[in-house]
Amino acid sequence: MKVAIGADHGGVELKQDLISLLKELNIDYTDVGSHCADSVDYSDFGLPVAEMVANGEADRGILICGTGIGMSIAANKVKGVRCALVHDLFTAKVTREHNDTNVLAMGARVIGPGVALEIARVWLSTEFEGGRHARRIDKISQYENRVTGG
């Protein structure tokens, strides 16, 4: 598995903790930034990570900003991306099983690094259940194709 990871200034510290987790799990990753604490725009990092997932350069994406909201809104504008904003372990597991989410967004000002790392661990290791859930996702993809003409 290859993961693309990005954060704005609100999430840059947590991004480093998540990168340490990816290394521990032997997961290949691309860090798109930001690389410092200066104020930046979450969309400049959320959109490239989402595009990497959409075009197959990465299998999954992880995005962190202050709340995770801006990142999740941006990522979900990219065709083929299903991004979940997650702040608890139950949702981390079920959004993989039911929604086959390929991007995880978290808010570094909402949860601490301990919870965030456990969420990432669960989200990275949980499989999609398919079946009736695949039918539901297909309907979203069909809608996406219809409105984008592709």
Known catalytic residues? 65, 98
d(CA 126, CA 133): 15
From residue 94, alpha-carbon distances to 18, 23, 131 in Å are: 20, 24, 14
With CA atoms as reference, report the closest residue to 147 among 77, 69, 65, 68.
77
Name, in order, each residue with C-beta under 8 angstroms of 137's C-beta and a sequence gap of 6 or more: 82, 99, 100
Single out the residue of 4, 5, 6, 10 in contact with ligand RB5 (rule: CB under 6 A). 10
- Give me the phi and psi of 8, to 5 degrees please: -95, -170
Tell me which residue has its CB nearest to ligand RB5: 70
State the binding string over 34-73 for ligand RB5 (x if CB under 6 A, else -): --------x----------------------xxx-xx---
8 binds ligand RB5 per the rule CB under 6 A? yes
State the binding string over 95-114 for ligand RB5 (x if CB under 6 A, else -): --------------------
Q: Nearest distance from residue 68's CB to ligand RB5, in Å?
A: 7
Footprint on this chain of ligand RB5 (rule: CB under 6 A): 8, 10, 42, 65-67, 69-70
